[in-house]
């Protein structure tokens, strides 16, 4: 029984020492390229998210500025002129403006995606 315990006391440290050397030698060449790929992916994803956020912020600022200008003009103009002017604006005017802004946003996003992909292809 003593020889079995002695054998196991020598076997396990030697086995796990060899196993750890094997695992370090096997995994270490894989870790570098894998971490580099993950870093590049999240870098590209972060840039795309920043571009989309910047476009959204620009559209929001443009909308707020137009709203402020419109309310400033409406506050200065007499009510009769505003009522008469509203008669010439169609009822679906907000839908038409929203559609135009959405089309412009789509074209801006498409343009930025093309520029970003060209930039990454050249890099």
Where do the H-state alpha helices sit in 1-123? 2-76, 79-87, 93-122
Report yes or no on 101 lying in a domain.
yes
Please tell me the predicted confidence (pLDDT) of residue 123: 65
Range of the domain at 61: 33-122
Report yes or no on 9 lying in a domain.
no
pLDDT tens for the 123 residues of the chain, in order:
677 777 777 777 777 777 777 878 888 888 888 888 888 888 888 888 887 888 778 878 887 888 888 888 888 888 887 778 778 877 777 788 888 888 888 888 888 878 888 877 776
Q: How many CA atoms lie within 13 A of 82 on its CB side?
A: 10
Report yes or no on 44 lying in a domain.
yes
The two three-digit tokens of residue 98, written as one number: 């929203």
Task: Give dist(CA 55, CA 106) in Å, integer.
Answer: 10
Report yes or no on 21 lying in a domain.
no
For the chain, how many structural domains are there in total? Answer: 1
Report yes or no on 28 lying in a domain.
no
- pTM for the model stands at 0.45
What SS3 class is residue 92? coil
How many Cβ atoms sit within 10 Å of the Cβ of residue 6? 10
Report yes or no on 3 lying in a domain.
no
Report yes or no on 19 lying in a domain.
no
């Amino acid at each position: 029984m003593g020889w079995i315990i002695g054998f196991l006391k020598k076997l396990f440290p030697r086995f796990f020492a060899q196993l750890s050397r094997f695992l370090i030698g096997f995994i270490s060449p894989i870790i570098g390229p894998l971490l580099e790929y993950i870093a590049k992916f999240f870098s590209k994803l972060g840039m795309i998210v920043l571009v989309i956020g910047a476009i959204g912020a620009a559209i929001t600022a443009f909308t707020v500025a137009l709203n402020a200008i419109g309310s400033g003009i409406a506050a200065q103009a007499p009510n009769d002129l505003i009522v008469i002017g509203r008669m010439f604006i169609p009822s679906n005017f907000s839908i038409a403006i929203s559609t135009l802004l959405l089309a412009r946003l789509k074209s801006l996003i498409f343009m930025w995606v093309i520029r970003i992909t060209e930039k990454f292809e050249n890099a």
